[in-house]
Amino acid sequence: MAGGGGEAGACAVSPPPLQGLQLVQQGAEARLYRGQFLGRAAVVKLRFSKRYRHPALEERLSRRRTAQEARSLLRCRRAGISAPVVYFVDYVSNCIYLEDIVESTTVRDYITSVQQSGKDTSNLFLLAEKIGEVLARMHDEDLIHGDLTTSNMLLRPPVEELDLVLIDFGLSFISGLPEDKGVDLYVLEKAFLSTHPNTDTLFEALLKKYSATSKKSSLVIKKLDEVRLRGRKRSMVG
């Protein structure tokens, strides 16, 4: 979830009742707080209402997205994919209480720090392969993340062990269509290459591992190529 200032269309809300609550991130759809939940380090994702939406529609949309995010996280964990534990879901206030991955580092920050340090980058290729493997397993579960970026991936400490955690499933959905999986990869590719310039070979390693791991990769990669072509055509026209 991208940070930023409050949105004009958002309604004012009270923070959820969490001991030691602290606002850590503000996005277009939700606020993220950090604190304690039943004695455990937790983050709370609070979806807020939008004034421009009809209240009944807003309630249905928020509840549906909150439920889908919780289901997606549980689906990941059942498949052996590392994701935050869901502690509690409050459908009245549309809050999800999640495990706080303490002292974690975003993949974005890790890649940037390695590149800026001038040190050996071989570990980045191992990381790219790890991402490709995890995403292949996620897609084989017919789970589409919807907002894949290196900011929505964490590394547990110590980061050198490349213990990858997927987060922020607020736009996730279930689909077995190769098109949806191809678009998921395309979103990541655009974000990856724009955030981390000159990393084409890293992303190629990611896709190679994805193809080797996924049971359904051939059709997905074919769709990815089609989506890329459509994107280039739009760029030429626009």
Active-site residues: which are they?
147
Cβ neighbourhood burial of 172 (10 Å; 0-12, 13-18, 19+): buried
DSSP secondary structure string for all residues of 170-208: TT-EE---HHHHHHHHHHHHHHHHHHSTT-HHHHHHHHH
The tokens for 2 are 């991208």
Q: Where are the beta strands (DSSP E) in 38-155?
A: 40-47, 86-90, 95-99, 105-106, 143-144, 153-155
The tokens for 8 are 């004009």
- Distance, in Å, from the CA atom of 105 to the CA atom of 187, rounded to the nearest integer, reads 21
